[in-house]
Amino acid sequence: MNFSDIFKSSFLENVTAVSAFDMVLSMALAFCLGLFIFFVYKKTYQGVMFSTSFGVTLVALTMITNLVILAVTSNVVLSLGMVGALSIVRFRTAIKEPLDIAFLFWAIAAGIVLAAGMIPLAVFGSVVIGVVLILFVNRKTHTQPYIVVMTVDDKAAEDKAVAFLKENVNKCVTKSKTARAGSVELNMEVRLKDDNTDFVNGLTSLNGVKSAVLVSYNGDYMS
């Protein structure tokens, strides 16, 4: 066996292991499912600043996973080498939202199932997962919490400001209090009435209240 025979047996045979039609169809479906995952991510995003790059990553991750699994399923020797190569890969970017992990696994799973030839399972499973996420993530179980940061002169002004807040919001809870010489800073968690924020204007007009800031807070609360 010469070098030409080795080259033909190890390389040229693998070129036809996956047909051109299968490659095009699989990558096109992976792109479509990646776009669907991106759409669901955009609809269910609840953070402060939307990251377009993460959405594009979901599309690319679906296609890359599909590409890798297509190569692995066509050659047993390549699959063993791929396991060793991918074992050194480390994902070091911090995931701030737990729901982002679900989208990453969804993109990877969709790419794997598509490359395995289970197209109905990949499409049906993705549709079901997308519907479930849209229904449950966008469902509001409580009113949006806000934080009122205000600075007052003394204890009398503090009592007057707290009483004013309790009259104009549904819920008012003190989160933190900082006392300095000549001023007191309060952080109050409030739940608005019909999303009305006009009470902040009235709060700043009270005697002894130096400033008041209303901040939207995106956090986990147990009602």
Number of domains in the chain: 2
> Which residue among 105, 137, 169 closes a domain?
137
Which CATH number does the domain housing residue 193 bear? 3.30.70.260
Per the structure, the complete domain to which residue 210 belongs is given by: 145-216
Q: Judge whether 183 and 166 are in contact, CB under 8 Å.
A: no
Task: Based on the fold, state whether residues 22 and 125 are members of the same structural domain.
Answer: yes
Q: In this structure, is residue 121 part of a structural domain?
A: yes
Domain end marker among 137, 154, 169:
137
| pLDDT value at residue 220 | 46
Q: Which pLDDT band, with edges at 50, 70 and 90, does 221 fall under?
A: very low
pLDDT tens digits, one per residue of 68-104: 888 777 665 555 556 555 555 565 666 677 788 889 8
- pTM for this model (two decimals): 0.61
Quick one: 70 and 25 in the same domain? yes
Domain final residue pick, 137, 166, 188: 137
Assess whether 173 and 85 both reside in one domain.
no
Query: Is the same domain home to 91 and 155?
Result: no
Same domain, 130 and 184: no
19, part of any domain: yes
